Structure 1
């Protein structure tokens, strides 16, 4: 299949349609606006429906309703808009409704700015809404990966009956790269016999609900969800290891930041400094077991993020106290450079015995 040069937002939208998404509900916010714009133009051509909701709150509740019919549905937003969606995402998790939510994140807090950021890590991986729930989070580093992971997200959502988030920063949304749309699904998906599609007099009505006033029943439901999350942790972890053999320092980065880190690692290697990378592809579940494969040559871990340091908490948990952990980050829309990362690595290694 030939590759097509596309902007990230449009590539993600096209991937969603390729995966069978026919219903999109959203609200404009930079830097993800090309995604709903693409959907508004292209979905009607295939008999789909685009709705620009009156707010992000309305959009996620429309997702709740449409997902209840068993359809493949998606919404997208950026950081402040994602914050507004959190209650609805919790409702979708509680009602076991599959859906895909795209966050093309920007600097904050508050309205912040429109430049790239990774400061939504806490909100996205911890579940920004109420209650005991989790959801898978994919963090693509390239547009091809954004396409592939978006298509996979729909299968994962259907398989586990859960919301799935694809999180890219503003660079993922705005950059252009060649992509191809491949048939990637080999997953056998369960029948959607829970969907509200009309009984036709053949069965009892299905009820989509997240309200349970009996505490014993609610506890049972929460344990059911928790068992599902444990299965996701066991089966759906994704990560990449880059030049880890003999590494004396291990960098941890995700998304577009990991591409900058790779450039720094390649340049360091030319200077005789061995550095490796652990790149989480799933931010939840976090690839904790990857840290068990850190070579004995490693002296220290350096976490690099476009934030003031949020993923570092998961790195500490995965590290289990074995190695010292350092942090380097830029935030507010500022992007780290390979040169700055190299300087940080040299400074750290100079102080580690």
Structure 2
């Protein structure tokens, strides 16, 4: 059965049904409904909802809960995620799985409360200090928000690392019909590394990200990057739409991909061979799908609600085999299908 839900609330309900019972957050537009929904639901199911004194406190509470082996999450919008950066780095350095949701707004600074995709670099390149990556998944519909929350938790547990859902204010505020997973306790895998008490039956587990011996820290970082290569091989996700015979392929994720799809459909009606590649994982980036397309397309067109933060990743993915053009709006402005269609027509 489908129910009509706002994106922010769907994210929260999906997390609960994925086994999350511990939420620590702080209000900021345009994600506040997510935290408000958790404040109502968590006490009813025996979970923990805590509005922390700051974003910094909230993410460190997530770190503590994750260290104990439970599914925990936090959510925020752009400047709030910046404040969480240190805690995310600590989790990565401690090999802890947890979920961070960013419902992006315009920036830099306080910017505005309208939708944006200008946190792409932050999510994929510099979530915090040090040598590390996090898993980044980008939904384009409210239904996909629901589906990717469970996937993000599962992948975070599988690879022992933080995961992020990178949404935006448009998706967070949008209402669409969704099918939710069945209610009930989800069976979760054992976490033998967790610091959750041992009753004298095993050695102490220590969760830590501080290593004062340089060679030991280098060894751990290198081990982590071997794991990252495995993730790149196994976890790339992208949707390919009308790509097989396309001359121009639009590359867009999240809300921008919905706009781009409309432009591609209109271009096809006009006899223009356009297609769409929609990255679902922003890290690992879907280089395989782009390389397949690069073998036959004439141009790529990146469409974003930013000043072009994904462009370099597309160029690197295809080894600069074909021209990569860009069209974007920023500051909370949303590109229209007509604007994108004009870009496609110019390239054809």
TM-score grouping bracket, smaller chain normalisation: over 0.9
What's the counterpart of residue 243 of structure 1? 242
Output the CA distance in 2 between the equivalents of 1:40 and 1:279.
Answer: 34
> Match for residue 218 of structure 1?
217
Q: Which moved more, 1:51-60 or 1:126-135?
A: 126-135
Q: 1:313 offset after TM fit, Å? A: 0.9
Secondary structure of 2:24's counterpart equals strand
Q: Secondary structure of 1:294's partner?
A: helix
> Shift in Å at residue 224 of structure 1?
1.4
Map residues 168-317 of structure 1 onto 2, 5 A cutoff.
Answer: 168-182=167-181, 191-294=190-293, 297-317=296-316
Maintained 8 Å contact 1:159/1:189 = no
Distance 1:136 1:271 in 2: 38
* Displacement of 1:182: 3.1
TM-score (norm 2): 0.97
Write the deviation string for residues 62-84 of structure 1: whole angstroms up to 9, x where unpaired. Answer: 01111111000010000000001
Structure 1 residues 1-353: aligned runs within 5 Å = 2-182=1-181, 191-294=190-293, 297-349=296-348
> What is the CA distance between 1:197 and its match in structure 2?
1.2
Using the alignment, how far apart are the partners of 1:52 and 1:205 within structure 2?
A: 31
Distance in 2 separating the partners of 1:189 and 1:76: 22
Deviation (angstroms), 1:127: 3.0
Flag the 1:160–1:103 CA change in 2: closer, same or farther, 3 A. Answer: same
How far has the Cα of 1:296 moved from its partner?
5.1
Asked whether the equivalents of residues 247 and 295 of structure 1 are also in contact (C-alpha less than 8 Å), the reply is: no
Deviations 1:64-105, CA, capped at 9 Å, x for gaps: 111111000010000000001011000000001110000000
Q: Which moved more, 1:189-198 or 1:312-321?
A: 189-198
After the TM superposition, which parts of structure 1 deviate over 6 Å for at least 4 consecutive aligned residues? none
| Residue 277 of structure 1: how far off its partner (Å) | 0.7
Q: Aligned pairs, how many?
A: 345
> Structure 2: which 5+ runs fail to align?
none
Structure 1 residue 199: Cα displacement? 2.2
Are 1:3 and 1:178, in contact at CA under 8 Å, matched by a contact in 2? yes
Task: Give the Cα separation in 1 of the matches to 2:203 and 2:150.
Answer: 33
Distance in 2 between residues matched to 1:55 and 1:182, nearest whole Å:
32
Q: Kindly tell me: are residues 321 and 98 of structure 1, through their superposed partners in 2, closer, same or farther at Cα, counting changes over 3 Å?
A: same
Contact 2:105-2:169 at 8 Å conserved across structures: yes
Moved more, 294-303 or 17-26: 294-303
Post-superposition shift, 1:190?
5.2
In 1: Cα distance, 2:322 partner to 2:336 partner: 25
What is the CA–CA distance in structure 1 between the aligned matches of 2:204 and 2:147, rounded to whole Å? 36
Query: Is the contact made by 2:17 and 2:181 (CA closer than 8 Å) also made in structure 1?
Result: no
| Residue-by-residue CA offset, 1:289-347 (whole Å, 9 max, x unaligned) | 11221165521111000000100010010121211111000000000000011111112
Segments of 5+ residues of structure 1 without an aligned counterpart are: none
Cα-to-partner distance string for 1:11-42 (whole Å, 9 max, x where unaligned): 00000000000000000000000000000000
Distance 1:89 1:13 in 2: 20
Given that 1:8 and 1:174 are in contact with CA atoms closer than 8 Å, whether structure 2 keeps it comes out as: yes
> How far 1:216 sits from its partner (Å)?
1.1
Instruction: State the shift of 1:189 in Å.
Output: 6.9
- Whether the aligned pair in 2 keeps the contact of 1:127 and 1:135 (CA below 8 Å) is no
Classify the secondary structure of the residue corresponding to 2:11: helix
